[in-house]
A and B are shown apart, each in its own frame.
Chain A
Amino acid sequence: MSNPSEHMGGIVNAGDLPDKPAPISTEGPVAWMRDNLFSSPLNTLLSILALFLIVWTVPPALNWLIFSANWAGGADACRANTGAACWPFITARWEQFLYGFYPAPERWRVDIILIVLLVGIVLLAFERTPLRKWIALLMLVPFPIVSFILLYGGMFGLPVVETSRWGGFMLTLVIALSGIVASLPLGIVLALGRRSTMPVMRMVCTIFIEFWRGIPLVAVLFMASVMFPLFLPPDVSFDQLLRAVIGVAFFASAYMAEVVRGGLQAIPKGQYEGAMALGLPYWKMMRLIVLPQALKIVIPGIVNTFIGLFKDTTLVLIIGLLDLLGIVQSAINDPNWSIKSVPYTGYVFVALVFWVCCYAMARYSRYIEAKLHTGHKR
Chain B
Amino acid sequence: MHNFKSIATAAAIAGSLAATGVASADETLDAVKGNGSIQCGVSQGLPGFSNPDDEGNWTGIDVDFCRAMAAAVFGDPEAVKFTPLSAKVRFTALTSGEIDVLARNTTWTMSRDSDFGEFVGVNYYDGQGFMVPKSLGVASATELSGAAVCTNTGTTTELNVADYFRAQGMDYTVVAFEKADEVVAAYDAGRCDVYTTDRSGLAAQRTKLSAPDDHMVLPEIISKEPLGPLVRHGDAQWGDIARWTLNCMINAEEMGVSSENVEDMKGSDDPGIQRLLGVDGDLGSKIGLDNGFCANIVAAVGNYAESYNRNVGPDTPLQLDRGLNALWSDGGVLYAAPMR
Contacts and interface: CB of A to CB of B under 8 A. Distances in A.
A134 to B, nearest CB: 38
B96 A318 contact: no
Contacts of B234: none
A336 B207 CA distance: 10
Given A318-B88, A338-B208, A340-B208, A226 B81 contact: no
B85 interface: yes
Interface stretch (A227-235, A265-273, A349-357): A227-235
B298 to A, nearest CB: 24
Q: Which DSSP category, helix, strand, loop or mixed, fits chain A's interface?
A: helix
Contact of A233 (B20, B92, B316): B20
Interface string B80-110: 0111111011001101111000000000000
Contact of B98 (A225, A317, A334): A225
A231 B17 contact: yes
Interface string B198-235: 00000011011110000000000000000000000000
Contact of A320 (B52, B55, B84, B317): B84
Interface string B297-324: 0000000000000000000111000000
A335 B84 contact: no
B45 A330 contact: yes
Contact of A331 (B21, B45, B85, B97): B45
For chain B, the bracket of interface size reads: 35 or more
Interface in B154-206: 181, 188, 204-205
A335 B47 contact: yes
A157 to B, nearest CB: 19
B260 interface: no
Contact of A96 (B14, B48, B54, B89): B54
Interface in A257-309: none
A329 interface: yes
Contacts of A225: 89, 93, 98
Interface in A308-322: 317-320, 322
B97 A229 contact: yes
A82 B209 CA distance: 9
B331 to A, nearest CB: 25
B212 to A, nearest CB: 9
Nearest to A93: B54
B51 A322 contact: no
Contacts of B14: 231
A333 interface: yes
Given A96-B56, A101-B56, A320-B85, A330 B51 contact: yes
B18 interface: yes
A322 B44 contact: yes
A44 interface: no
A310 to B, nearest CB: 21
Contact of A162 (B52, B81, B92, B210): B81
B23 to A, nearest CB: 9
A131 to B, nearest CB: 40
A100 B24 CA distance: 33
A226 B93 contact: yes
A343 B21 CA distance: 42
B96 A230 contact: yes
B204 A338 contact: yes
Contacts of A164: 81-83
A206 interface: no
A117 B92 CA distance: 37
B47 A322 contact: no
A322 B96 CA distance: 20
Interface in A229-263: 229-234, 240
Contacts of A322: 44, 84
Contacts of A326: 44, 84
B208 A240 contact: no
Contact of B18 (A231, A339, A342): A231
B207 A226 contact: no
Contacts of A317: 44, 86
A234 B207 contact: no
9 contacts: A96-B56, A226-B96, A318-B88, A320-B84, A331-B51, A333-B46, A333-B47, A336-B53, A340-B188
Interface of B: 14, 17-18, 20-21, 24, 31, 41, 44-48, 51-56, 81-86, 88-89, 92-93, 95-98, 181, 188, 204-205, 207-210, 316-318
Interface of A: 82, 92-93, 95-96, 100-101, 162, 164, 222, 225-227, 229-234, 240, 317-320, 322, 326-327, 329-336, 338-340, 342-343
